[in-house]
Structure 1
């Protein structure tokens, strides 16, 4: 059994994986006596990861940090400076490449930041965009303007706002949806839309419900990434 660890900017997600089945759990639920290996995708703080590494060391369980490479099998990274691509983005691309072989994909991963990545049907990563996540957009706007405010109970939508919280929240969502739509349009072909992250399902509702949401896309990418390391 493996332990999969996704260290994001605001949270750490952990899951067990056995024979391809991923089960999201809390850190307190990790069955360390059954874990053979820990796979880690890290973009967040080392402090968030320290307790897990200490447990792995105390149980003598090896751990590996996933990394970006210019190629991974038939998959090719768009970045010439490939090490500058965030590992979370790379793993969502890796997962999408294997989950939807020979299909062009647009990946919308929205949490603290929103990342939009594009993959063509041949396995060439085309690149992507990063913009502030919905909460960050709102917080920045409210903090740097006068008489602009939001609240915690107004729902996100893409309609024109009829009050200030509506206008703020709906603009953040509309801007995010429009960016993803532009990625789809630029591909000029049929694409598979893939959603991930805390706001992934919300964007799915307003962009294209026929796309597929994954709450473990980075985790799936870790599994596929590891297979290539074992074959080297």
Structure 2
């Protein structure tokens, strides 16, 4: 069994992979006796990984740290300095290309930050944008203004706000959805040829309010990590 580990900015996501089947599990439920290899995609702090790496060292389990390369299979990175691209973005792009090989993809991973990336059906990563996540947008706005405030009760809705908390939260939502639409526009083709994929902590919310057909994939980075492992082992 291979253990797949996605180290985000604020949380750790762990999955077991057996015969290409990925199952998300709790860190405390890892069956260490059957783990043959660990693959890690890390953008967050080392402290989130301490328990996993300590156990791997104790049991002499090989650990592979996923890295961005200029090309992985058919997927080509848009960054000339590819090392500067976040591994989470890269694996999301890779996963989407292999999940939807006959479509251009707009990849939206929204958590602490919101990332929008565009990849063609040929595997050419065109680049992307990094925006503050919904919470970060709100916190930045509220902390830097005197009369703008938010609350924990108001929902994120794609409509005009009629009070200040609504205006703040809905503005963050609309700004992010606008970036998704802008990503679609970069492809300059019929929408039928495009697959929009949402992921991350706020991915499901964004997909709910996105008017065009799309999907939410909770384990997108882990799927990309599995793809990375397949190419590394070839």
Structure 1 unaligned spans of 5+:
none
Indicate the residue corresponding to 2:91 in structure 1: 91
Indicate the residue corresponding to 1:220 in structure 2: 223
Structure 2 unaligned spans of 5+:
none
Give the C-alpha shift of residue 81 in structure 1. 0.2
Contact 1:110 1:200 (8 Å CA) reproduced: yes
Q: Equivalents in 1 of 2:212, 2:45: separation in Å? A: 33
Q: Equivalents in 2 of 1:65, 1:116: separation in Å? A: 23
TM-score normalised by structure 2 residue count: 0.97
Q: Equivalents in 1 of 2:233, 2:76: separation in Å? A: 19
Indicate the residue corresponding to 2:206 in structure 1: 203
Indicate the larger mover: 165-174 or 57-66: 57-66
Give the C-alpha shift of residue 102 in structure 1. 2.8
Indicate the residue corresponding to 1:71 in structure 2: 71
User: Does the residue aligned with 1:159 lie in a helix, a strand or coil?
Assistant: coil
Indicate the residue corresponding to 2:178 in structure 1: 178
Indicate the residue corresponding to 1:34 in structure 2: 34
Contact 1:181 1:207 (8 Å CA) reproduced: no
Indicate the residue corresponding to 2:17 in structure 1: 17
Give a deviation string over 1:45-73, Cα, whole Å, max 9, x none.
01111111001111111110000000112
Give a deviation string over 1:126-179, Cα, whole Å, max 9, x none.
000000000000011111111211111110011110011100000000000001
Give a deviation string over 1:80-130, Cα, whole Å, max 9, x none.
000000000000011011101131000011000000000011110000000
Q: How does 1:91-110 map to 2 (within 5 A)?
A: 91-110=91-110
Moved over 4 A (4+): none
Contact 1:105 1:191 (8 Å CA) reproduced: yes
Q: Equivalents in 2 of 1:133, 1:171: separation in Å? A: 12
Give the C-alpha shift of residue 209 in structure 1. 5.5
CA distance change for structure 1 residues 208 and 2 in 2, over 3 Å: closer, same or farther?
farther
Paired positions, count: 231
User: Does the residue aligned with 1:17 lie in a helix, a strand or coil?
Assistant: strand
Q: Equivalents in 2 of 1:106, 1:208: separation in Å? A: 14
Aligned alpha-carbon RMSD (Å) = 0.9
Q: How does 1:42-53 map to 2 (within 5 A)?
A: 42-53=42-53
Give the C-alpha shift of residue 21 in structure 1. 1.4
Q: How does 1:155-194 map to 2 (within 5 A)?
A: 155-189=155-189, 190-194=193-197
Contact 1:102 1:123 (8 Å CA) reproduced: no
User: Does the residue aligned with 1:187 lie in a helix, a strand or coil?
Assistant: coil
TM-score normalised by structure 1 residue count: 0.97
